[in-house]
């Protein structure tokens, strides 16, 4: 037996990427609602509010808001044991700083969770997935302002209370660490909701300050969630794409160590409850006065997570270069530029093929990651995203023969099985990204498809939104039915 009997097989999405209904049911505007469409290699933009004549693909997305019953029925047909999505903060508190929650928004998720439970599907819920209320970004500069910790706390308390008994698996902030790899993605310090420009010299400082404030907010949410229901399992969510040294040159090893520190210090705060020593040193060197009180440090210790949720898509390689002998963060911070192109100290890994969007494909890296995280933190883990964005072709008979997607997922699930079987890591579940075609987070495209379920809508917004099953639908159905034994 490789996977536990109650292994949580399923799929993951985020509210803003599929729900649509951006102004329905009393919902407010989120930062995802002011993000324009980009393209493969074309960055998205954040506009100053919702402007006429701009294209905002998240506004309608795939209209899960009205199709969720039909879509969940299809997930159930595949045999899903779990479904990961987020609660759109702006459905509950439309402006983020409202006095009272919006009942219609709360009711929407009640109905969605009831539908999931009807089929025995466990909801796995992210509190904040790139969808902070735009008002909080605009009025407070997001998590740069400590008042946002309180607003998040209130939101968390509201949903923990309301969905007590309906939701047991939670995560606080999606890919909280992504902002460290590309601090000014889309003129926004992602997750922290800090609006800025790419050339602002304070970006790095703001990333650290808002990141610390989010971590305090996360630690408070963990404590509140445990207080409301001791059955709650509350995890962090890390975008884990390991960085390898290009060679065994000790200088490459140091470069690799630094790169991993830059990208993954957030996990130490979540899982150990401490700001890592190297980071304190770096702040001191840079003269960053990060506002974190002794009381807040105590809160970090008390609000450690129950499990590590992480996404895994790819790995990177890094090499020392002339003039970078200090292994200083500032010399290697931007591992990806805003077009998701590798820059800085990232080098090509000649052993790996890439997707059409240039993401290196590395199944064995998943086994490596599971081992590394388990060795270091000794916490249960859940893979909460893993998948391959690809251009799909619909055949004349309506079928989509996505063998490339099956091959990607098969290889990753095999690597995951080896990590469990041979290495003994403690793994709670696997949520592939994304079981149904949705709007891409990085590019805003519809044609960057991940799903087992095809959605008839393209980048231009054309299509009747009808859903159909791809070849991979039947493949995943068999994988779940055999608890991962039959990957053929």
Q: Least distance to ligand BGP from the beta carbon of 92, Å?
A: 19
Q: Region of 145 please: left (phi>0), alpha (psi -120 to 50) or beta.
A: beta
Minimum CB distance to ligand BGP smaller for 259 or for 275: 259
Minimum CB distance to ligand BGP smaller for 390 or for 411: 390
> Which residue in the set 128, 311, 369, 386 belongs to the binding site for ligand BGP (CB under 6 A)?
311
Q: Least distance to ligand BGP from the beta carbon of 239, Å?
A: 5
Minimum CB distance to ligand BGP smaller for 169 or for 433: 433
Partners of 270 in the beta sheet? none
Partners of 124 in the beta sheet? 84, 169
The distance in angstroms from the start CA to the end CA of the chain is: 17
Contact string (CB under 6 A) for ligand BGP, positions 213-252, x = contact: --------------------------x-------------
Q: Binding to ligand BGP (CB under 6 A): which residues in 44-103? A: none
Minimum CB distance to ligand BGP smaller for 300 or for 361: 361
What is the 3-class SS of 328-351, one letter each residue? Answer: CHHHCCCCECCCCCECCCEECCCC
Q: Is 274 a catalytic residue?
A: no
> Which residue in the set 31, 74, 381, 441 belongs to the binding site for ligand BGP (CB under 6 A)?
441
Q: Calculate the CA dihedral of residues 372, 85, 50, 42 and round it to 10 degrees.
A: 40
Task: From 252, 254, 237, 242, select the one nearest 372 (Cα to Cα).
Answer: 242
Cβ 36 vs Cβ 44: under 8 Å: yes
Q: Contact region for ligand BGP (CB under 6 A) — 344-352, 373-381, 407-415, 439-447?
A: 439-447
Minimum CB distance to ligand BGP smaller for 205 or for 408: 408
Q: Per the residue annotation, which of 175, 191, 214, 255 is the catalytic one? A: 175
User: What SS3 class is residue 430?
Assistant: strand
Q: Is 440 in the site for ligand BGP (CB under 6 A)?
A: yes
Contact string (CB under 6 A) for ligand BGP, positions 254-293, x = contact: ----------------------------------------
Minimum CB distance to ligand BGP smaller for 65 or for 130: 130
Task: From 172, 101, 66, select the one nearest 465 (Cα to Cα).
Answer: 66
Write the CA distances from 94 to 34, 140, 472, integer angstroms.
14, 15, 37
Q: Is 175 a catalytic residue?
A: yes
Containing 207, the helix (H) or strand (E) segment is helix 203-228
Minimum CB distance to ligand BGP smaller for 443 or for 459: 443
Q: Per the residue annotation, which of 299, 385, 418, 445 is the catalytic one? A: 385
Rounded to an integer, what distance in angstroms lies between the CA atom of residue 40 and that of residue 217? 34
DSSP sequence for 214-274: HHHHHHHHHHHHHHH-TT-EEEEEEE---EEESSS-HHHHHHHHHHHHHHHHHHHHHHHSS
Q: Binding to ligand BGP (CB under 6 A): which residues in 159-218? A: 174-175
Partners of 10 in the beta sheet? 82, 431
Q: Least distance to ligand BGP from the beta carbon of 295, Å?
A: 31
Q: Least distance to ligand BGP from the beta carbon of 440, Å?
A: 4
> Which residue in the set 20, 43, 389, 435 belongs to the binding site for ligand BGP (CB under 6 A)?
389
Count the alpha carbons within 13 Å of 347 in the hemisphere toward its beta carbon.
15
Minimum CB distance to ligand BGP smaller for 183 or for 239: 239
Q: Region of 463 please: left (phi>0), alpha (psi -120 to 50) or beta.
A: left
Q: Least distance to ligand BGP from the beta carbon of 251, Å?
A: 30
Q: Binding to ligand BGP (CB under 6 A): which residues in 408-437? A: 433
> Which residue in the set 448, 457, 469, 470 belongs to the binding site for ligand BGP (CB under 6 A)?
448
Rounded to an integer, what distance in angstroms lies between the CA atom of residue 73 and that of residue 228? 30
User: What SS3 class is residue 201?
Assistant: coil
Minimum CB distance to ligand BGP smaller for 228 or for 411: 411
Task: From 276, 221, 272, 266, select the one nearest 239 (Cα to Cα).
Answer: 266
Task: Report how many residues bind ligand BGP under the rule CB under 6 A.
Answer: 13
Residue 321's Cα: distance from chain center in Å?
31
> Which residue in the set 203, 442, 459, 472 belongs to the binding site for ligand BGP (CB under 6 A)?
442
Q: Binding to ligand BGP (CB under 6 A): which residues in 328-387? A: 385
Catalytically active residues are 175, 385
| Interface ranges with ligand BGP (CB under 6 A) | 14, 174-175, 239, 311, 385, 389, 433, 440-443, 448
């Amino acid at each position: 037996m490789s996977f536990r009997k109650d292994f949580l097989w399923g799929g993951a999405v985020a509210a803003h990427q599929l729900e649509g209904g951006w102004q329905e049911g009393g919902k407010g505007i989120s930062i995802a609602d002011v993000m324009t469409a980009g393209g493969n290699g074309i960055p998205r933009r954040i506009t100053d509010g919702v402007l006429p004549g701009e294209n905002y693909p998240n506004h309608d997305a795939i209209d899960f808001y009205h199709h969720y019953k039909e879509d969940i029925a299809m997930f159930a047909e595949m045999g899903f044991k779990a479904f990961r999505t987020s609660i759109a903060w702006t459905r509950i508190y439309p402006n983020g700083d409202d006095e009272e929650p919006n009942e219609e928004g709360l009711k929407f998720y009640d109905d969605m969770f009831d539908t999931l439970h009807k089929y025995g599907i466990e909801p796995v819920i992210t509190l904040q997935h790139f969808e902070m209320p735009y008002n909080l970004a605009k009025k407070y500069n997001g998590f740069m302002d400590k008042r946002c910790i309180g607003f998040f706390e209130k939101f968390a308390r509201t949903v923990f209370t309301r969905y007590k008994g309906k939701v047991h698996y939670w995560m606080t902030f999606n890919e909280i660490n992504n902002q460290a790899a590309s601090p000014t993605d889309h003129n926004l310090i992602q997750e922290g909701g800090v609006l800025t420009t790419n050339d602002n010299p304070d970006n790095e400082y703001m990333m650290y300050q808002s990141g610390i404030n989010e971590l305090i907010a996360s630690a408070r949410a963990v404590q509140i969630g445990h207080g409301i229901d001791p059955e709650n399992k509350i995890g962090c969510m890390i975008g884990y794409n390991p960085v390898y040294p290009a060679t065994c040159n000790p200088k490459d090893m140091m470069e690799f160590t630094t790169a991993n520190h830059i990208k993954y210090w957030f996990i130490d705060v979540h899982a150990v409850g401490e700001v890592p020593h190297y980071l304190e040193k770096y702040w001191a060197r840079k003269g960053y006065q990060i506002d974190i009180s002794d009381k807040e440090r105590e809160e970090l210790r008390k609000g450690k997570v129950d499990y590590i949720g992480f996404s895994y898509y790819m790995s990177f390689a890094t090499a020392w270069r002339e003039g970078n002998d200090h292994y200083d963060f500032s010399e290697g911070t931007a591992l990806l530029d805003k077009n998701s192109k590798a820059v800085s100290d990232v080098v090509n890994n000649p052993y790996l093929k890439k997707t059409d969007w240039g993401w290196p494909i590395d199944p064995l890296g998943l086994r490596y990651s599971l081992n590394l995280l388990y060795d270091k933190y000794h916490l249960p883990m859940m893979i909460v995203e893993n998948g391959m964005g690809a251009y799909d072709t619909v055949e004349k008979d309506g079928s989509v023969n996505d063998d490339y997607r099956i091959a990607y997922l098969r290889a990753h699930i095999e690597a995951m099985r080896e990590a469990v079987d041979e290495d003994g890591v403690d793994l709670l579940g696997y949520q592939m990204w994304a079981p149904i075609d949705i709007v891409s987070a990085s590019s805003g495209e519809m044609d960057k498809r991940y799903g087992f379920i095809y959605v008839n809508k393209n980048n231009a917004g054309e299509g009747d939104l009808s859903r159909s099953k791809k070849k991979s639908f039947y493949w995943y159905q068999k994988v779940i039915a055999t608890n991962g034994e039959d990957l053929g």
